[in-house]
Homo-oligomer: A and B are copies of this chain.
Amino acid sequence: MDTATPGNAVHPALGALALPQPYLLFLGDTIEPGFAKTAFGLRDWARDKCIGEFACSPDAVSTGLPHMRPAAAHAKGARALVIGVANSGGVIPAHWRASLVEALAAGLDIVSGMHVRLASLPDLAEAAARFGRRLIDVRSPPATIPIATGRKRSGKRLLTVGTDCALGKKYSALAIARGMRARGLDVDFRATGQTGIMISGSGIPMDAVIADFAAGAAEMLSPDAAPDHWDVIEGQGSLFHPAYAGVSLALLHGSQPDMFIACHEAGRAAILGTPGFALPDLEEVIALTRTLGRRTNPAIRCGGVTINTARLSDEDAAILLDGEADRLGLPVADPMRGGPRFERLLDQCLAP
C-alpha cells in the first residue's frame, strides 16, 4: 500500500482511499442521534465491517452493536476506530482525546471525516507516531489525480443524481448496489463523500478535489472493468444547485454513466441553504441529466426515480410513489422501503 499524503492510505490501483477494516465505532459523548448519522450509516450499510461500538460517556447514543473497549475490539479483529459522530463545530473536543489515544495504544488506526485534520492535534499526532498507527482523514483526496480524458471505459456504470443535496443519493446507490448483488451481479458501490467512503472502505471525497481535477477524480473512481461489472456511483449535489452544480456536472461527465437514477425527497420544495431557489421538477432533472450526460456517454438512460418518504405514512408513501410512477412513466421507489416497486426499478436498470 502506497502512501500519497502523510497518514493517508491509498489503494494501489485506484489512488483512492483504502481504509483499514473492520471498525470500532466511536460515539464520543454524543446524546443527539442526529449527530451520530455516520455511526448509524455504518451499522446499517457496513454491518459486517463493524465489530462494536465505544463511547466515552455512559449517556452516549448507541447503535445497538456490542459495547467494547479498543483492546477488546482489536482482539476481535478491529483495525480502525471510526469517529462516528459529528458536532456543530466539526472539532474533536479535548475530553475525547484520552479515548482516541487508548485506541491508538490498542493498535487501531483512527478514521475521521471531521473538518479538523487529526494530525493537526499534537497529542494525537504524538500518540500515533509513538504507537506506529495512522491518522486517516477521509476528507483528504488522493494527492495525484489526472485531468479527465473522456475516454470510454469498459464495464457498466450507474450514477444517482438529485433534485438537491442531502436527500438520499448515497442510500439510493447503496440500496441499488445491494439489490444488484442480491441478484448475483458483480457490483461495486463507489463512494464520493465521507460517510460513503467509510461505508465502502474506499472512494474519493469529491467535495475536496481541486475543480480542474473533479472530472478526472470521477474517472479514477470507476476504472475499466469486466463488461458485465457494475459500478454504482454515489451522486453529489444537484445540477440545479447554485453552489454545487459544477461538482455534479464533473461527476456526471467523469462517471459516464450508462444509467442514472433521479433522487428526491417527498415534500422538499426549496434548495437547502440557498434561499430563493425552488427545487427543480423531476422531469427537469431527468432531461438535463440526459442532455449533459450524453457528452461522455451517448447511450445514457434513466433507470427510474427514488423518493425519500421517511416522513410519510406507509399509505401516503404508496400513493405518492405510484402516482409519480404513472405521471413519469418510470419505476419510482423508496429504496429504504424496498418491495416490488424497488425490484421494478432494478429491472429497469438492468434491462438490455
Listed in ascending order, the chain A residues whose CB lies under 8 Å from chain B are: 147-151, 206-212, 214-216, 240, 242-251, 253-254, 271, 273-277, 288, 291-292, 295-296
Most buried by B among A208, A247, A273: A247
Please, how many angstroms separate the alpha-carbon atoms of A254 and B201 in the complex?
A: 34
- Specify which chain B residues have a CB less than 8 angstroms from the CB of A207 in the assembled complex: 210-212
- Specify which chain B residues have a CB less than 8 angstroms from the CB of A149 in the assembled complex: 242-243, 274-275
Number of copies: 2
Whole-angstrom distance from the CB of A9 to the nearest CB of chain B?
Answer: 21
Name 18 A/B residue pairs within 8 A (Cβ), A-sorted. A147-B243, A147-B273, A149-B242, A207-B211, A209-B210, A211-B214, A215-B243, A215-B244, A215-B245, A215-B246, A242-B253, A242-B296, A245-B250, A246-B246, A246-B247, A246-B248, A277-B295, A288-B291
Whole-angstrom distance from the CB of A42 to the nearest CB of chain B?
Answer: 23
Whole-angstrom distance from the CB of A271 to the nearest CB of chain B?
Answer: 8
**9 more A-B contacts (CB under 8 A) besides A149-B274, A150-B271, A246-B251?**
A149-B275, A150-B277, A207-B210, A209-B210, A211-B214, A212-B244, A214-B246, A215-B246, A242-B295
B250:A150 contact, CB within 8 angstroms: no
Please, how many angstroms separate the alpha-carbon atoms of A302 and B206 in the complex?
A: 32
Nearest residue in B to A147 (C-beta to C-beta)? B243
A276:B150 contact, CB within 8 angstroms: yes
Q: Top 5 A-B pairs ranked by shortest CB distance?
A: A246-B250, A150-B242, A148-B243, A246-B246, A207-B212
- Specify which chain B residues have a CB less than 8 angstroms from the CB of A151 in the assembled complex: 275-276
Please, how many angstroms separate the alpha-carbon atoms of A242 and B243 in the complex?
A: 20
Q: Evaluate whether A247 and B150 lie within 8 angstroms (CB atoms) in the complex, with A242-B296, A296-B242 already known.
A: no
- Specify which chain B residues have a CB less than 8 angstroms from the CB of A250 in the assembled complex: 211, 245-247
- Specify which chain B residues have a CB less than 8 angstroms from the CB of A214 in the assembled complex: 211, 246-247
Please, how many angstroms separate the alpha-carbon atoms of A274 and B216 in the complex?
A: 12
Residue in contact with A150 in the complex, picked from B208, B212, B251, B274, CB distance below 8 Å: B274
A295:B240 contact, CB within 8 angstroms: yes
Most buried by B among A206, A242, A274: A242
Please, how many angstroms separate the alpha-carbon atoms of A179 and B337 in the complex?
A: 61
Please, how many angstroms separate the alpha-carbon atoms of A84 and B140 in the complex?
A: 34
Q: Evaluate whether A210 and B212 lie within 8 angstroms (CB atoms) in the complex, with A242-B296, A250-B245 already known.
A: no
Nearest residue in B to A218 (C-beta to C-beta)? B246
Please, how many angstroms separate the alpha-carbon atoms of A202 and B330 in the complex?
A: 50
B215:A208 contact, CB within 8 angstroms: no
Most buried by B among A151, A245, A246, A291: A246
Please, how many angstroms separate the alpha-carbon atoms of A295 and B149 in the complex?
A: 28
A243:B150 contact, CB within 8 angstroms: yes
Please, how many angstroms separate the alpha-carbon atoms of A150 and B148 in the complex?
A: 28
Most buried by B among A150, A215, A245, A253: A245
Please, how many angstroms separate the alpha-carbon atoms of A274 and B254 in the complex?
A: 13
Please, how many angstroms separate the alpha-carbon atoms of A208 and B210 in the complex?
A: 6
